[in-house]
Amino acid sequence: MANQPVPVVTAFDWVPEFAKGLVRDLRVRWAFEELGEPYAVEKFGAANPRPDGYVNWQPFEQVPAFREDGVEIFESGAILLYLAEKHGALLPKRDNARWRAISWLFAGLNSVEPSCMRYFAYTVFNPGKEWTEGATEAVVPLLRQKLRRVSDALGDGEWLAGEFSIADIMMVTVLNSLKDTGFVAEFPALAAYHARATSRPAYQRALAAQLADFDGPPPEGRG
Amino acid sequence: MANQPVPVVTAFDWVPEFAKGLVRDLRVRWAFEELGEPYAVEKFGAANPRPDGYVNWQPFEQVPAFREDGVEIFESGAILLYLAEKHGALLPKRDNARWRAISWLFAGLNSVEPSCMRYFAYTVFNPGKEWTEGATEAVVPLLRQKLRRVSDALGDGEWLAGEFSIADIMMVTVLNSLKDTGFVAEFPALAAYHARATSRPAYQRALAAQLADFDGPPPEGRG
């Protein structure tokens, strides 16, 4: 252990209020907390400079990026997969269940999150514009359909792939973006799932760690 | 070989004109063609019934879904990853390059495709509505920024992770959704990359196979 460098995750030192608890390094922190493994945070923003050449590490200059033993990874889904493979945890062992979990990992990112993000982009970033209401009305049925399908797939099961896995870390943090919109509550199985996941001690520790790291000043002109 | 069942991919037997070449089973077909491995297509639509219990295989009832040796997978990204792992191909061997490719696989699906899909949803599914122009104007800068970052990351390199990989299959088919909008052409490195990829014989075979499978009649009321 003494010679092993601690893996590094990037995060922001400040975000506006609406983004607290939603920045995607939460997913990686949560996985580390479930694994009981240490990690270091390299944070940047107004108070801390962006790491040199960050664009070569994270081509979109977002967070999280990840580094361990010379392996650099970006995209929260890829980092979760790496951690699960490396530690032989947070993924079922049997082939069919393992690939079910990996399927759901991708589904969180590509079948569910885009509708959530459209809703978020309209209502949080573009409230009250002349096109917002029409665009929002157009995406809500799609969003509800995606949520219903996840809820139906869960049924009375506890987790998406039988046991708790990186698929659940992904799906639950995707659902977080819907916050207090009431959409998740429309689907009792989904709401119970979300509550079950976010009450896990590892989630609570990860969330507290993300929030504690927002200790930088706002950029000029922001409050 | 004789005893090995051929893996199965689901596809549609009919799609409207705008969707031809865009349905995501193309990604899986392309991977099979690059691998030189056989696959079977289970197609459905107006002419062929949906497989019984399809929702348990593909929770969103979309395509592609995949089955091999009792392992069922959905989400094109997960299927590509499975094929690469199983065949030890289409992913670099060295750890850092391998995870770079997997990062780009996720980036195609989550950092690039959502903006493309928003543009597509506005201009193809909702042309001329009173909110379409405003919503489109709001997403175009984001879309251009994503394309610029991919183009910059490519630079004068041939493929996203050094050698051709499942990341390229993903990114190129994501870019396909922009079709003749002119956005890809704005970024010469990206346009050259797209042309380089789609001129591969394996891509051409996969595309021809998808188009040939659209041999069903349109659903009632569609032409």
- Give A41-66 pLDDT, tens digit per residue: 999 998 888 999 999 999 999 999 99
Q: Directed axis angle between helix A113-120 and helix B113-120, to 10°? A: 70
The C-alpha atoms of residue B75 and residue A179 are separated, in whole angstroms, by 26
Largest separation between any pair of C-alpha atoms in chain B: 59
**β-strand pairing of B8-12 with B65-68:** antiparallel
Q: Is residue A219 part of a domain?
A: no
Q: Is residue B1 part of a domain?
A: no
Task: Please report, for the domain that includes residue B62, its CATH number.
Answer: 3.40.30.10
pLDDT of res. A134:
97
Query: In the sheet where A71-74 sits, what is the strand order?
Result: A40-44, A8-12, A65-68, A71-74
Residue A47 φ/ψ region, left for φ over 0, alpha for ψ in the -120 to 50 degree band, beta for the rest: alpha
DSSP state of B178: T
Same domain, A137 and A113: yes
Task: Please report, for the domain that includes residue A163, its CATH number.
Answer: 1.20.1050.10
The C-alpha atoms of residue A206 and residue A26 are separated, in whole angstroms, by 6
A85 touches chain B (CB under 8 A): no
Cut 0.90: pTM above it: yes
Same domain, A113 and A179: yes
Q: Is residue B2 part of a domain?
A: no
**Cβ neighbours, 10 Å, residue A177:** 17
A123 touches chain B (CB under 8 A): no
Both tokens assigned to B176: 């396909």
Q: Is residue B221 part of a domain?
A: no
Interchain contact, B126 vs A138, CB within 8 Å: yes
What is the pLDDT tens value at each position of chain B, 223 positions in all?
Answer: 456 689 999 999 999 999 999 999 999 999 999 999 999 999 999 888 899 999 999 999 999 999 999 999 999 999 999 999 999 999 999 999 999 999 999 999 999 999 999 999 999 999 999 999 999 999 999 999 999 999 999 999 999 999 999 999 999 999 999 998 999 999 999 999 999 999 999 999 999 999 999 998 888 766 5
A72 touches chain B (CB under 8 A): yes
Using one digit for the tens of pLDDT, what is the confidence trace for A159-209?
999 999 999 999 999 999 999 899 999 999 999 999 999 999 999 999 999
Using one digit for the tens of pLDDT, what is the confidence trace for B127-168?
999 999 999 999 999 999 999 999 999 999 999 999 999 999
Q: How many domains, in total, are found in chain B? A: 2
Cα angle, residue A126 at apex, residues A123 and A132 outer, rounded to 5°:
75
Q: Find out whether B92 and B98 touch, Cβ atoms under 8 Å.
A: yes
Interchain contact, A102 vs B113, CB within 8 Å: no
For residue A88, give Cα distances in angstroms to A93, A102, A196, B102. Answer: 8, 14, 23, 18
Q: Is residue A84 part of a domain?
A: yes
Same domain, A104 and A195: yes
Interchain contact, B114 vs A113, CB within 8 Å: yes
Same domain, B81 and B120: no
Per the structure, the complete domain to which residue B29 belongs is given by 8-89+204-213
**The one-letter amino acid at B202:** A
B72 touches chain A (CB under 8 A): yes
- The complex's ipTM works out to 0.96
Both tokens assigned to B204: 């051409």
B94 touches chain A (CB under 8 A): no
A177 touches chain B (CB under 8 A): no
Sequence-separated (6 or more) residues with CB below 8 Å from residue B164: B34, B90, B158, B197, B200
Same domain, A56 and A110: no
Chain B residues whose CB is inside 8 A of the A128 CB are none
User: For chain A, how are helix, strand and coil distributed in percent, rounded to 5?
Assistant: 55, 10, 35
Q: Directed axis angle between helix B201-213 and helix B25-35, to 10°? A: 130
Q: For an interface test with A, give the residue of B106, B117, B130 to mutate (most A CBs within 10 A).
A: B106
Same domain, B116 and B39: no
Which of B59, B82, B132 is nearest residue A99 as measured by Cβ atoms?
A: B82
Same domain, B81 and B151: no
Q: Is residue A223 part of a domain?
A: no
Q: How many CA atoms lie within 13 A of A110 on its CB side?
A: 28
- The closest of A124, A133, A126 to A17, measured between CA atoms, is A124
SS (H, E, C) B122-163: HHHHCCCCCCHHHHHHHHHHHHHHHHHHHHHHHCCCCCCECE
A157 touches chain B (CB under 8 A): no
Sequence-separated (6 or more) residues with CB below 8 Å from residue B145: none
Q: Closest-CA residue in chain B for A71?
A: B96
Q: Is residue A3 part of a domain?
A: no
> Omega into A217 within 30° of 0, i.e. cis?
no
Q: Closest Cα of chain A to B179: distance in Å?
A: 20
B123 touches chain A (CB under 8 A): no
Q: Is residue B223 part of a domain?
A: no
